[in-house]
Structures are given as structure tokens and as C-alpha cells.
Structure 1
Amino acid sequence: MITGSSIGTLVVFIISIVFVIYPVSIPIRLPYLGRKRLPINLTTAPILAIAILWAAQCLGPSVVDQRRHSSSSSSDQRRIQVSPPFCDSQYAERPANATSSSGTDGVKPYNILILFFSLAYMAITLDITGVLQAAAFWVSNKGGSHGYRLFFYFYVMLTALSVFLGNDPVILSGTAFLVYYTRVTELNHMSWLMSEFAAANTASMVLFVGNPTNVVICEGFSVNNAAFTAYTILPFLGCSVTCLIALGFQFRKPKYIPRRLTVTEELDVWSVLLDPTGAWVGSVLLGTCLIVIIIVSFFHVDVWKISLPFAVAKFTYDIVWDHYRWTKSIPMLGQRPKRKWSDDLPSPTKDVPLEIVGGRGSSEKPSPDGDDVRDLTPLPPTASVTFEEASFPATTANTRVNTRNNTRDTTLTSRTLVNEPSERTTAKPLLARLRSRYLTTYAKFALHFPTFFTALPRLPFALVPFAFSQFMLIEALTHQGWIEIFATWLVRASDKQMYPVIWLVGVLGVILCNISGTNIGATILLTKVIRAADLSPQTNRAAAISLAVASNIGAVSFTYSASLAGLLWRQILQQKGIFITQKTFAYWNTLPLLVMTVVGLAIVSAEMAVLY
């Protein structure tokens, strides 16, 4: 039954989504801090929406627990039974609507976040060693002077890396690399960057750990982790191949992909492998973790209990290895430790402490002549991280050069900035001293343990408040009856038939990625709706796989906010002086998205026809 509270809840939910897509900042004045701007964006908008609903008594402490109590007494205690060959035996006795005290309908936000952050840390620290850039150099050498062959090799490399590392680490490092590569070789950056974005997000559907949305689906629909890959591997191959064809067609003009490139010398692959030992250790730990997760997924074990110990082991190794290299003055990430750094610390009341640059803690602004100008303002620990531009010297356009010395000498440097004391510093010496002490301490630890402090800003911390707030907002919709209404619409539109459900969920998933606050919000919402629709076990499973395809290719969409990867991708490009408008982004993604949607859902339909 629709009431004023339910309508208000839906309106607040929609408004929060609008601010996620189009963030704004409101100027406010705070005591002692002066004039500040309050951002209303991906992180704050859902939290403000929860506060408003809480104040209006549309959401309260009992809402989250209500589903747990109601599900235990509900008549809908069906049990999931899936036909071979993808029978998830460990879930055979789990009620379809089972919940826990920390989640609903089998979806536990803390499980998802722990798993995702554990794997993200291992993937990011592996990338810091230079593995991805070394792979890019190797592929570039193999591509030679043939434009289309190089384009194909890069697409395959980015796809393969995204399968195992996930889309976020590849977006972080691959984007910056392609910016510099296309700049010094005078290639049109649009075709290479758009192809990288599409390849990385499409490949993330293969492993359940490739994207947080995959974890939501596996938890919410009780899909075995190994079975998830078995279901999605064919849709992935179909989507990836057709996406490459679509990209090749729309970028067919020579100005986007030239037929021939001018090449005089090969790039030195080993020059950018900054930590070979760390690369081997990181690869072994990450690979072993993924294998163990797949094995234990056949048993009644939460996979975060596997990924977390591996992440702790990798963190311990990073700290010990960095400390050992510090004490032995062994180069770390291309820079030999400066043993007397502490003797030259800046004055807390006058100087700004050390900044770690090399693309790992600095920001850049475009100059009028098109060259990058490095902004030497120290960034906070949550700043984004990218590759160092010096890997491709600006004077070597159209030439492949040996970059060993350039990379090792400039990857990690430190600088002291001297500023005149400001009025704020004079008026508030205590705050100035505290800030200076914090920045100084942070810089000292960052020089001592560069691996961890380089990885720290790259972790997607914005995911934490966003994920929890999305769970709470959608739970509020459930409490107000909207999920049941949406489920009724789905039943009426599909008549609970498998193939209409596949296409309805798939198309709606792609659309909702654009208008429901990233693909994470869309996945959580549709998971709840599908579960409430009381479909047959086979149709329920088909809907889950259709949603998995849609939530991943939905990132290759019309709005940057369709995924966290899109927001991260835009931020990196803006730091490098490249501004791609929302209209241009949507224009180049339209054709790949359309063909992937049709092909991906068609393959899911074919799979279900064979299995059921």
C-alpha cells in the first residue's frame, strides 16, 4: 500500500541518486575553520538521504532486522536446487530468503567489503612493482609499427589483466600509461582510452572477485564462486569479441588507429619493473589466494576468511621488505633511500613537509601550451595515484627509447616546499602545528614504507560509506513496500518465464547502472527485486547470470557514475589534462554497449536453454 512515507522514501532515494550522478558543493561557514564547501556526491549524498529518512521516521534501527525476523516466519522458505553441471551443493540447504544479523537475503556488506579490499590491496601492491607497465612495454614491442596489430595486442593484454586483477587496478595504471604513450607517439588518445575502459570493465565479469557487483550476486543468489565463472565465461567471450569488433569499426579512420607507426627502437621492459622480488611474491600470493578461494567455494566457508589472511600476509611482507631495503639502502621503487632525510626536515611553522611525487602522490594541471605542469601541492593520503610521466620523456616523440635510467631516477622523489606563513597559520598556530606534524610524520613513514603508502591512496575507500548506505536505502525501500511493488511489476511483465526475465533483468540492469547510483546500487536493488518475485529456482539462476552480465557491461555506459571505475577513470584523465565530456563518453560507448547487451543476453539465454 502506497503511503506518504513510502512516496517520501522513494523521492529521497531518487534525489540522492541525482547527486551521485551530478555532484555539487555547497559553501558553508564553520566556526574556527572559516568558509568551506560541503560536497554532495557519491560519498555524502546517500548518507544525507539516510539522515533525512531517519529524521522523518521512514527509516529506523528496526528496519534492518525486520527482514530477518519476517523471513524466518515467511511461507516463502523455498530451497535453491540447481541442476547439474552447476549444482551448488553447499547452498542446497540454505533458505532462499535467509538473512543474517549483518545483512539481508544472504547479502552481507561487511563480507563483500572485506573480500574486495583484501584482493584490491594485493592487486594494487602487485601493480606498484611495475608489472602492468612492463607488460605494456612488452606488448608495445610485439605490436611493432603495425597500428591495428598494436591496438589488438593492447586490448587483449588489458582484458587478460582485468580478468585476474579486476578492473580498478587496470584502470588506475593502464589509463596513465596510455595517456603518456599516446602523447609521445602522437596517437589520438580517444580510441586507445575508450578501448581500455571497455576492455577492463567487460573482463571483470569472469571471476566473482573481479567486481563488487559479482560478489553481491554470488551472496544474494547463492551462486557458487566457481559456478559463477562457468556461467559467465561464454557471455564474457562473446561480449569481449563483439566489443573489439565494434570498437574497430567506430575507430576505423586512420586518425584514430593509424595503419603504420614510426618505430626506431624497442622499449626496455625491465626498466619499469621496479621491484622484481615483490612482483614474484605478489603474483604467487594473489594467484594462490584465487585458487584457494575457488576450492573452498565448494565448502561452507565464507571466502573473505580466505582473502583476509592472504592480504595480511602481503601487508606483512611489504612492511618487512621495505624496512629491510631501508636499513640496507637498497633502492625502493626506483629510488635509493635518503638516510639523512631527517636532518633536513622543514620548519613546522613555515615549510610544507615533503611531497612524494613520481605520479604516486602528486596532481597535475594542463598548461596553455598543452604540456603537463606538475602541481607541487601535497595531496592527502586519499589522493589518486598514477604512473610517472618520465617513463616516456617528452623529447622522444615517435621514438622508442631505453627508459631504464629515466624511470629509476624519477619514479619516487621528494621535495621541500617553502611557503610564507599565511594569515591562518598566524591566527591558529595550534592547528598549523598539528597539521604540519601530521604531514611530516606521514611523509617520513611514506619514505620508509613506500609500498604500503603508495597503495593506500589507491584503495577505493569511497566504496565503504557508499555500499553501506546503499544497503540501508534499499532496505528502506523494502520496508516501505517498494521492492514488493517492483517485484510485482517484474512478474506481470515476464509471467515468470525464464527468457523474458533474462532480457528484462539484463536491459533494466544496464539502464539502472546509469540512473541508480553506480552499478553497485543497481545490482543491490535488482537482487532484492528478483528475490521478492518468487521465481522458480531455474529462472532465479538465469536472472542472476543476466544481472551479472548487465552489471559489468553496464559500466561501459552513458554516465561516468555508472561505476566507480568510470569516476576513477575520469579523475585520472583530468589530472593529466584530458577532459572528455559526458556527451563524448556516451557517444563512443553507445555502439559497444548495444552489441554487448544483445550478444551477452543472447548467450545467457542459450546457456539456460541447454542447461534447463
Structure 2
Amino acid sequence: MISGYAIATLVVFIISIIFVIHPVSIPTRRPIPNIPINLTTAPILAIALLWAAQCLNPAVIRGGIVGTEGVKPYNILILFFSLAYMAITLDVTGILKAAAYWVSNKGGSNGWKLYFYFYVMLTFLSVMLGNDPVILSGTAFLVYYTKVAKLEPIPWLISEFAAANTASMVLFVGNPTNVVICEGFGVNNAAFTAYTILPFLMCNFVCFLALGAQFHNRKHIPRKLTSSKELNAREQLLDPVGAWVGSIMLGSTLVLCLVVSFFGIDVWMISLPFAVGKLIFDFAWDHYRFVRKRRALDSSPSVDEKTPIDEDQTTEPGTAVSPPTRPPTPQPSSSDKVLERLKNHFPTFFTALPRLPFALVPFAFSQFILIEALAHQGWIEVFAKWLSRASHGEMHPTIWLIGVLGVILCNLSGTNIGATILLTQVTRAANLPPHTFRAAAIALAVASNIGAVSFTFSASLAGLLWKTILGQKGVTVTQREFAFWNLLPLTVMTIAGLAIVSAEMAVLY
């Protein structure tokens, strides 16, 4: 029986999602100019409101943080941040930008050849590093490259976004949603890749065909580039030692995480020590480079500086010449001088720190708590009954229902993380047969990744990050343009990806 508390919980949940999709700012008096209600604050305010209305209790909040029935939110976030730190610090070395320059040189002046090479490179990097680090580096580079080459930026940016988010379905660490699925459905990490590799290959292939079809006009991708100068890839590799160490540590972490998953060990126990080890290396290596640079400067011969004299100024012999007057420059404060010194001394850590997706922490925990509140009020059981009735517990209807719903809910549930958490809980409560349950997990894995290539920027954290970077670089992509250019790739990927999942499950079961 659905109570008034249950209805209130669902309404507040939906309202919080609306503010995630369309954030607003409430103007106030100084010193606080406005109060933002967005991805970070809206779910937290929703929890506070539901707690005040007695729609949830401390046990529900604890369940959303610690986890219930095998789903451990803290495990997911520790794993994700550990790998994110290693991937972002690897990017700080310049290795991703160097790779982009190298690919640009290989493509030469052939527009379509270069377009294909970039697509393959971004796909490969996203498989290994996940979508967020590639979005961080690739977006800024493509904005720069398209300006220099005098190219229309939209085809290249849409291609990058689609490739990065499609490729993130291969490894369980490629996207936080993958970790949620492995935890919630009890899918072994190595088995996850075995299930998703074929859907990924098909999605990646048809996505490129769709991109080629809609950008075939020479205005979008010219057959011959008018400006195609050779770029120096070696200069972009700022720290070769850091790049080697970072690559080895990240690769070792991924391999070990796959191995220990066979023994039921929580993978954060592997990723966290590696991330701490990488942090220690970053501080030690940056300190060594800083000291070596300082010694080199101290040992160099000093050069006397003379006060410049205005040649037009006439002076008498023996008359002192006063230096030209300069406007006073504002002096930085002492939380600024210290920070600047730290950035100069330890550039790797302090460059990577602002790039870490800290907004994910309150958002993800809030989503877990809100889904737990829906379960507490009986909504998860209601949704599970609807799923059982619609699919009759059969495998192929479940694949298409979960897959299509997953893509849609990425736009309506506050990013693909919210959609994945919700559908995971609903599917677990539906008491599906084992083979249908496993098929639903793989369908959701495909949907939650390609669902980022969707109609709203808030369909994924990568979308919000992508939009922010473009705004900083002076490139405007409207919500309408984003939806229009993603419509065809998303449609063909949904059909092709879920068809491969259906074929896989038909063969296996």
C-alpha cells in the first residue's frame, strides 16, 4: 500500500532530479550573492527535506552510505577516485596531448583520415583510462586544433564525446556505473569485460558510421585540410619519467584488480594502495626536480640588471636619474603566496587536485540515499513488479526493457549514475531467473555508457565536464545542438548494442 509518505518521497526525488538537469541560482543579499541548486546541492536538500518530513530515518541514510545487500557505495567511490587520481596525474605529464599531436601528424592533410585516426586514438585511450581523463585533455586539444586548422569544431567534439563514453564500457573501472553494476549484480570484473567487449566493438563501429553519415558534408569535414603544419609531439611530453611510472602503476592496478576479483576481494583494497604509492612518488619526484632546478639556477652566473633610461630624457652630467614611475601592482595575499609556492614545488599534485571530480562524492552518496528512501517507502518493489509483468521474467524482453529504459533514464534520473543505481535496485527486487538477471546487468552496462551520448548534458558527469571545458575555451554548444547531433549515433548504438547482448545471451543460455 502506497502511503502519503511514499508519494511525498517520490515527488521530492523527481524535483531534485529536475534541478540536477536544470540547475538554478536563488539570489540573496550579500555576502552570499546566490544559492545554487544544482547537481551537488539539490539531492542533499532533498534528503534534508525528507528527513524533516520523517519520510526517511538514520537507518536509511546509513544504508545509502555503507550499503545494503552487497552494494557498497564507499567501495565504488574509493575505487573510482583512486583510479581517477592515477589517470589524471598521468595526463598531467602531457602524454595524452603528445599522443594527440602524434596522431595529428600521422593524419596529415587528409581530413577523413585524420578524423578516423582521432576517433581510434580517443577510443583506445578511453578504454585504458576511462572517459573523464580523455574528456579533460581531448576536449581542450580539439578546440585548439580546430581553431589552428580552421575546422568546424562540432564534428570533432561530438566524435570525441561519443568515442570516450562508448569505450568506457569495456573495463569495470572505465565508468562509476560499471562498478555499481559489478557490485549490484555480482558480476566478476573480468567477466564484465568478456560480456561487454562485443557490444562495445559493435557500438563503436556503428557510431563511427553514424558520425560519418551526418558529417559527410565538406563543410563539416573537408577532404583536404588547408592548414596542416607538423606538430612537435615530443615537446608536449612534459615529464617522461612521470609518464612511464604512471603508465606502469595504472596498468598494474588494472591487471591486479581483475585478478583479485576472482577471489572475492574488494578491489578498492588494491587501487587505494597504488594511488597512495603514486601520490608519494609524485611528491618525491616533484621535490627532486624542484631542488635540481634550484641548484642549476644558483650555479648559473648572475647578470647585473641596470635601470632602463628613457632615451628622450636629457640630463646634466652628474645628475641622478630617477627610475621611471610604474603603477603599483596589487600584492597577493599570504592562502595565495603559500599556494603558489606549493604549486611551484609540487606541480603534479596541485594540478591534478582541482581536476578530481569531487562533486561526485555528495552526488553519488545522495543518490544512494534517495534510492534507499524509495525502497524504504515501497517504490522499488512497485517498480520491480512492473518490470516482472512487462518482461514475464524472459531474457530478451528484459534486455530491451532495461536497455531502453536505461538510456532514457540517463536523461531523467540525474546522470547515468542515478539511472544505474535505480535500475540495479529494481532489477534485484524483481526476482528474475539467474540467466535473465545476468542479461539485465549487461544490458544496463551498455545503456549506462552509451546513455551519456544523449539529449541532455546532465546525462553524465562527463557531459557536464565537457560543457564546462567548452565554455572556458569560448566554444558554445547549445542543448538543442547536443541533442540533435547525438540522436543518430545514440539510436544506432542502442539498437546494435542491445542486439549483440541478446545474441550473446542466446548463445550462452
Please state which band the TM-score falls in when normalised by the shorter chain: over 0.9
Partner residue in 2 for 1:279: 243
Partner residue in 2 for 1:26: 26
302, 306, 314: which one pairs with 2:266? Answer: 302
Distance (Å, rounded) in 2 between the aligned partners of 1:55 and 1:486: 26
* Structure 2 letter corresponding to 1:46: P
42, 47, 51: which one pairs with 2:39? Answer: 42
419, 425, 429: which one pairs with 1:532? Answer: 429
Note the C-alpha offset of 1:444.
Answer: 1.5
Name the SS for the 1:438 alignment partner. Answer: coil
Contact map agreement 1:337 1:447 (CA 8 A) in 2: no
Partner residue in 2 for 1:258: 222
TM-score (norm: length of structure 1): 0.77
Partner residue in 2 for 1:4: 4
Taking a change above 3 Å as real, the CA distance of residues 488 and 34 of structure 1, as seen in their structure-2 partners, is same
Note the C-alpha offset of 1:106.
Answer: 1.5
Deviations 1:432-482 (A, max 9, x none): xxx933122222111110000000000000000000000000000000100
Aligned length: 481
Partner residue in 2 for 1:85: none
* Structure 2 letter corresponding to 1:239: C
Confirm whether residue 439 of structure 1 aligns to residue 319 of structure 2.
Answer: no
Taking a change above 3 Å as real, the CA distance of residues 264 and 596 of structure 1, as seen in their structure-2 partners, is closer
472, 488, 497: which one pairs with 2:369? Answer: 472
Note the C-alpha offset of 1:262.
Answer: 3.1
Partner residue in 2 for 1:501: 398
Deviations 1:502-534 (A, max 9, x none): 000000000000000000000000000000000
Note the C-alpha offset of 1:105.
Answer: 2.5
Partner residue in 2 for 1:171: 135
Residue correspondence of structure 1 range 576-587 to structure 2 within 5 A = 576-587=473-484
Taking a change above 3 Å as real, the CA distance of residues 121 and 226 of structure 1, as seen in their structure-2 partners, is same
Residue correspondence of structure 1 range 165-204 to structure 2 within 5 A = 165-204=129-168
Partner residue in 1 for 2:317: none
Deviations 1:271-304 (A, max 9, x none): 1100001100101111111111111111121000
Note the C-alpha offset of 1:418.
Answer: 3.8
Deviations 1:379-411 (A, max 9, x none): xxxxxxxxxxxxxxxxxxxxxxxxxxxxxxxxx
Distance (Å, rounded) in 2 between the aligned partners of 1:187 and 1:337: 43
Distance (Å, rounded) in 2 between the aligned partners of 1:279 and 1:437: 33
Distance (Å, rounded) in 2 between the aligned partners of 1:329 and 1:174: 30
Name the SS for the 2:33 alignment partner. Answer: strand
Confirm whether residue 209 of structure 1 aligns to residue 106 of structure 2.
Answer: no
Note the C-alpha offset of 1:57.
Answer: 0.2
495, 499, 504: which one pairs with 1:602? Answer: 499
Partner residue in 1 for 2:381: 484
Note the C-alpha offset of 1:266.
Answer: 1.7
Note the C-alpha offset of 1:264.
Answer: 5.9
Confirm whether residue 160 of structure 1 aligns to residue 160 of structure 2.
Answer: no
Distance (Å, rounded) in 2 between the aligned partners of 1:114 and 1:296: 16
Note the C-alpha offset of 1:489.
Answer: 0.5
How big is the alpha-carbon RMSD for the aligned residues of Structure 1 and Structure 2?
1.8
Partner residue in 2 for 1:112: 76
* Structure 1 letter corresponding to 2:365: F
Residue correspondence of structure 1 range 454-473 to structure 2 within 5 A = 454-473=351-370
Distance (Å, rounded) in 2 between the aligned partners of 1:60 and 1:210: 34
* Structure 2 letter corresponding to 1:52: L
Note the C-alpha offset of 1:265.
Answer: 4.0
Residue correspondence of structure 1 range 566-585 to structure 2 within 5 A = 566-585=463-482
Partner residue in 2 for 1:450: 347
**Larger relative contact order (Cα-Cα within 8 Å, sequence gap ≥ 6):** 2
In terms of mean alpha carbon deviation, does 264-273 or 142-151 score higher? 264-273
* Structure 2 letter corresponding to 1:182: T
Residue correspondence of structure 1 range 238-249 to structure 2 within 5 A = 238-249=202-213
Distance (Å, rounded) in 1 between the aligned partners of 2:196 and 2:228: 42
Distance (Å, rounded) in 1 between the aligned partners of 2:150 and 2:340: 36
* Structure 1 letter corresponding to 2:20: V
Partner residue in 1 for 2:311: none
Contact map agreement 1:553 1:597 (CA 8 A) in 2: yes
Taking a change above 3 Å as real, the CA distance of residues 264 and 179 of structure 1, as seen in their structure-2 partners, is closer
Contact map agreement 1:178 1:192 (CA 8 A) in 2: yes
Distance (Å, rounded) in 2 between the aligned partners of 1:487 and 1:205: 25
Note the C-alpha offset of 1:62.
Answer: 2.4
233, 240, 248: which one pairs with 1:269? Answer: 233
Taking a change above 3 Å as real, the CA distance of residues 491 and 5 of structure 1, as seen in their structure-2 partners, is same
Confirm whether residue 518 of structure 1 aligns to residue 415 of structure 2.
Answer: yes
Deviations 1:118-155 (A, max 9, x none): 00000000011111111111111111111111000000
Taking a change above 3 Å as real, the CA distance of residues 580 and 494 of structure 1, as seen in their structure-2 partners, is same
Confirm whether residue 223 of structure 1 aligns to residue 190 of structure 2.
Answer: no
Note the C-alpha offset of 1:64.
Answer: 5.0
Contact map agreement 2:406 2:451 (CA 8 A) in 1: yes
Confirm whether residue 546 of structure 1 aligns to residue 443 of structure 2.
Answer: yes
Confirm whether residue 56 of structure 1 aligns to residue 53 of structure 2.
Answer: yes
Name the SS for the 2:271 alignment partner. Answer: helix
Q: Which of the two has higher C-alpha Rg? A: 2
Deviations 1:570-597 (A, max 9, x none): 0000011111110000000000000000
Contact map agreement 2:65 2:365 (CA 8 A) in 1: no
Distance (Å, rounded) in 1 between the aligned partners of 2:26 and 2:61: 31
Contact map agreement 2:26 2:35 (CA 8 A) in 1: yes
* Structure 1 letter corresponding to 2:250: L
TM-score (norm: length of structure 2): 0.92
Taking a change above 3 Å as real, the CA distance of residues 521 and 437 of structure 1, as seen in their structure-2 partners, is same
Distance (Å, rounded) in 2 between the aligned partners of 1:54 and 1:139: 53
Name the SS for the 2:506 alignment partner. Answer: helix
Distance (Å, rounded) in 2 between the aligned partners of 1:592 and 1:101: 36
Taking a change above 3 Å as real, the CA distance of residues 264 and 484 of structure 1, as seen in their structure-2 partners, is closer
Contact map agreement 2:65 2:73 (CA 8 A) in 1: no
Deviations 1:2-21 (A, max 9, x none): 11110000000000000000
Confirm whether residue 326 of structure 1 aligns to residue 290 of structure 2.
Answer: yes
Contact map agreement 2:65 2:369 (CA 8 A) in 1: no
Distance (Å, rounded) in 2 between the aligned partners of 1:270 and 1:337: 25
Taking a change above 3 Å as real, the CA distance of residues 21 and 475 of structure 1, as seen in their structure-2 partners, is same
Confirm whether residue 316 of structure 1 aligns to residue 280 of structure 2.
Answer: yes
Confirm whether residue 144 of structure 1 aligns to residue 108 of structure 2.
Answer: yes
Distance (Å, rounded) in 2 between the aligned partners of 1:475 and 1:53: 12
Name the SS for the 2:34 alignment partner. Answer: strand
Note the C-alpha offset of 1:34.
Answer: 2.3
Distance (Å, rounded) in 1 between the aligned partners of 2:478 and 2:467: 9
Identify unmatched segments of 5+ residues in structure 2: 300-327
Distance (Å, rounded) in 2 between the aligned partners of 1:529 and 1:264: 52
Deviations 1:225-265 (A, max 9, x none): 00000000000000000000000000000011100113564
Name the SS for the 1:26 alignment partner. Answer: strand
Distance (Å, rounded) in 2 between the aligned partners of 1:419 and 1:493: 67
Partner residue in 2 for 1:354: none
* Structure 2 letter corresponding to 1:535: L
* Structure 2 letter corresponding to 1:138: W
Distance (Å, rounded) in 2 between the aligned partners of 1:42 and 1:262: 42
Identify unmatched segments of 5+ residues in structure 1: 68-99, 340-416, 421-434
127, 130, 136: which one pairs with 2:91? Answer: 127
Distance (Å, rounded) in 1 between the aligned partners of 2:338 and 2:3: 55
